[in-house]
Amino acid sequence: MTIKKMTQIDMKNQRVLIRSDLNVPIENGIIQSEARILAALPAIKLALQKNAKVIIMSHLGRPKEGLYTKEYSLLPIFEYFKKKFNQTKIYFSNNFLKDIQLNAGEIAILENVRFNEGELKNSKVLSKKYSNLCDIFVMDAFASAHRKQSSTYGIGEFVKIACAGPLLINEMNALKYALKKPKRPMVAIVGGAKVSTKFNILHTLSKIADTIIVGGGIANTFLAIDYNIGKSLHEPNFIFEAKKLRNKCNIITPIDSRVGKKFCKTEKSTIKSPSNILADEEIMDIGDQTIQKIINVLKNAQTIIWNGPVGVFEFPNFRKGTEMIAKTIANSSAFSIAGGGDTLSVIDMFNIHNNISYISTGGGAFLEFIEGRKLPAIKMLEKNFKNILDNE
């Protein structure tokens, strides 16, 4: 099935509602990472070039639905946009479930959609209200494309025209390129805290990747198959599944780890083999032998998929594993695709944006796409396109 692209539509003097992903880290009103905002800009600029009346909506964080919380307001993003588009009239609306008056070439940024009752449950009433704001809906938030919510899915039932923005198109094309006919060897790095949330992706990757490298709490669950790993974060209920997976594919697990006794920023690290970890110690990074083993594998890779850090990279003494892997990927000639919130933070930390072939803004959507699932937002766009054809 085909979807309509934003580039194919005449938007002159039309009210164009863009669902962007502006879910960026903000501390004390200051944006900590611009990555997702920068990725959202091409769609907004394209709408302005087409002389549209541009309305932008997004979620931010996980506020209690229906309740305004200053911590989750998009006001800092509005201030950012005012500087970015200093020649354009920009408005901020915190009460936008009514008609918005704009001239062509102007922008309105709407308050956090998750302040609206019914957003998460894909309320038809709310979806209809969103649709009344626009003539054309642009879905450009790949990171939310796996969520069946009013602003990402439900609105498509009521708008006449729903189309895909450039970010959404680019994300899908890059992932298809990496997955359909990857250059080999293909290496996948899967880090993070919980193996349970990534078991489907591990199973999928086991069928297409030549080597899988696991890190973080996921790696600890694999280590727990054979070792007592102290108080390290892992999931005992998934040890049996991890063993079955390890037996059928090439999974690299740590041969040494950096451990500490306290989970804090100043904790010192000690390198130990898995068999020597004490009951009061916890694994928080990979050790030097493991780092070298992984570097050797990555140097030979032709395709690299990277999702998640391999340790507690926020703590200086437990950062080395993630840093060395990140820099090795950045220096590689392989086609590399990286995705997930923590992965974006790592890329920011080591300033390697220009050295990754493609950086996906998605976390859950990134994983679900790799698993082979059709994302709800894509289904919505396909259905809308079919309706357009049926009505012509």
60 annotated as belonging to a binding site for a ligand: yes
Report DSSP letters for 117-159, one per residue: TTTTTT-HHHHHHHHTT-SEEEE--GGGTT---TTTTGGGGT-
41 annotated as belonging to a binding site for a ligand: no
36 annotated as belonging to a binding site for a ligand: yes
23 annotated as belonging to a binding site for a ligand: yes
140 annotated as belonging to a binding site for a ligand: no
234 annotated as belonging to a binding site for a ligand: no
Contact 261, 280 (CB under 8 A): yes
Contact 286, 256 (CB under 8 A): yes
343 annotated as belonging to a binding site for a ligand: yes
341 annotated as belonging to a binding site for a ligand: yes
Q: Exposure of 370 by Cβ count < 10 A (0-12 exposed, 13-18 middle, 19+ buried)?
A: buried
22 annotated as belonging to a binding site for a ligand: yes
CA distance 376 to 335: 27
59 annotated as belonging to a binding site for a ligand: yes
CA distance 56 to 72: 16
3-state secondary structure 195-254: CHHHHHHHHHHHHHCCEEEECHHHHHHHHCCCCCCCCCCCCHHHHHHHHHHHHHCCEECC
> Which residue carries 């293909």 as its tokens?
186
Counts for the chain of helices (H) and strands (E), in that order: 12, 17
314 annotated as belonging to a binding site for a ligand: yes
Give CA angle at 153 (148, 159), nearest 5°: 160
114 annotated as belonging to a binding site for a ligand: yes
61 annotated as belonging to a binding site for a ligand: yes
Structural tokens at position 322: 């993630």
Binding-site entries: 21-23, 36, 59-62, 114, 147, 198, 314, 340-343
Binding-site sequence positions for ATP: 198, 314, 340-343
Q: Which residues are annotated binding-site positions for (2R)-3-phosphoglycerate?
A: 36, 114, 147
Q: List, as residue ranges, the binding site for substrate.
A: 21-23, 36, 59-62, 114, 147
